Amino acid sequence: MTQLKNDRFLRALSREPVDVTPVWIMRQAGRYLPEYRAVREKAGDFMSLCQNPELACEVTLQPIDRFPLDAAILFSDILTIPDAMGLGLYFAEGEGPRFKTPLRTLSAIEKLAVPDPEQELRYVMDAVRLIRRELNGRVPLIGFSGSPWTLATYMVEGAGSKEFSHAKRMMFDEPGAMHQLLGKLADAVTQYLNAQIAAGAQAVMIFDTWGGLLTPRDYQIFSLHYMKQVVAKLVRENDGRIVPVVLFTKNGGQWLESMAESGCSALGLDWTTDIGDARRRVGDKVALQGNMDPSILYASPDRIRQEVTDVLAAYGAGSGHVFNLGHGIHQTIDPEHVAVLVNSVHELSAVYHK
């Protein structure tokens, strides 16, 4: 394999010394970039773009070509696994993801088969292989999956939702059915992420978008428990280097201590937690990734630089911080403001790594 030219991201996740704080941006390949919108139009719908390895590779590399980012992330969707399980993922314009066949019964759950990543999800693995080749060692490639709980909420509900009533009804009224589903999904996520690592992913991230809908007790039982199962079975080496695992529970700021005990390398933070407080709470157990409010990118370059200064200062000196937004970048952000962000992180963080 090609030598990695910029390994700041991997070093920071292992809390090894770096020259400056590495930075990447959730949804960095996305609609705020005109070159992305052009490819998206060519591809047709969103899933056609995800399922075409050449186009997925092209959009993955767009932000890397434009900004001095320290990591690339596979262009894909968190719901590829349920789609491969036969639920029929589609995106209604402006409405977010939907499934043609929501899962509502124990018998439907019993019939689900764990997909073979190199068969039903081969388009993802082909994209990973192609992106690694095209990146040619410029920066590391991050693979990812939705968490078992997050996949389950969408699968049972059939779509995004404010309350996820169907998913929560199953959880409370038929907990056995929900646990069977989560167990299958933990297997599926494990195999999927291990296949991405085998195909070339140099770090992986688990997105637990809906873990924050749970009580502290139920987060442990229905979300974190299954993420731990996944983390424990991941192949943690690639090209002779450690493959770090990042866990991100949106609105999970109250549970960082228990997340840090999961065996992961780092926690992703949304912007509702102060990153300095988070660092004090997790100590030296894990690295931290985050956590600027994405809406700051609407403000002026000066204001963006000020906010970068504040987030870097809150984390403080030493390695273990990967700069990111607290959630995905909004679609209407000016790409010039992203350049300000990325350059500011590199420029203003050097002082913390002397």
The catalytic residue among 154, 219, 226, 315 is: 154
Q: Is residue 27 flagged as an active site residue? A: yes
Q: Is 298 in the site for a second copy (CB under 8 A)?
A: yes
| Rounded CA separation 52/61 (Å) | 14
Shortest approach of a second copy to residue 345 CB, angstroms?
A: 17
Number of residues interacting with a second copy: please give it, by CB under 8 A: 34
Q: Is 31 in the site for a second copy (CB under 8 A)?
A: no
Q: For a second copy, which residue of 66, 303, 305, 353 counts as binding (CB under 8 A)? A: 303
The catalytic residue among 7, 77, 208, 270 is: 77
Q: Is residue 104 flagged as an active site residue? A: no
14 versus 272: smaller Cβ distance to a second copy: 272
Q: DSSP label at 327? A: S
Q: What angle do CA 62, 234, 245 make, to 5 degrees?
A: 50
From residue 77 to residue 116, what is the string marking binding to a second copy with x (rule CB under 8 A)? ----------------------------------------
Q: For a second copy, which residue of 93, 94, 332, 354 counts as binding (CB under 8 A)? A: 332
Q: Is 61 in the site for a second copy (CB under 8 A)?
A: no
Q: Is 254 in the site for a second copy (CB under 8 A)?
A: yes
Contact positions with a second copy (CB under 8 A) in 267-296: 271-274, 277, 293-296
Q: For a second copy, which residue of 3, 119, 136, 215 counts as binding (CB under 8 A)? A: 215
Q: Is residue 192 flagged as an active site residue? A: no
Q: DSSP label at 36? A: H
Which stretches does DSSP call E strand in 58-175? 72-73, 89-92, 96-99, 141-146
155, burial (CB in 10 Å: exposed 0-12, middle 13-18, buried 19+): buried
With b for 16 or more beta-carbon neighbours within 10 A and e for fewer, the 326-353 pattern comes to: bbebeeebebebbebbbbbbbebbeebb
Q: Is residue 77 flagged as an active site residue? A: yes
* DSSP-based helix, strand, coil % in the chain, nearest 5: 50, 15, 35
Shortest approach of a second copy to residue 162 CB, angstroms?
A: 9
Q: For a second copy, which residue of 56, 72, 214, 231 counts as binding (CB under 8 A)? A: 214
Whether the CA torsion 349, 302, 34, 331 is positive or negative: it is positive
User: Quick one: residue 283, left, alpha or beta (phi over 0 = left, psi -120 to 50 = alpha)?
Assistant: left
Q: For a second copy, which residue of 107, 119, 163, 354 counts as binding (CB under 8 A)? A: 163
Shortest approach of a second copy to residue 312 CB, angstroms?
A: 15
Residues serving a catalytic function are 27, 31, 40, 77, 154
Binding site for a second copy (CB under 8 A): 163-165, 168-169, 171-173, 212-218, 251, 253-254, 271-274, 277, 293-296, 298-300, 303, 310, 330, 332
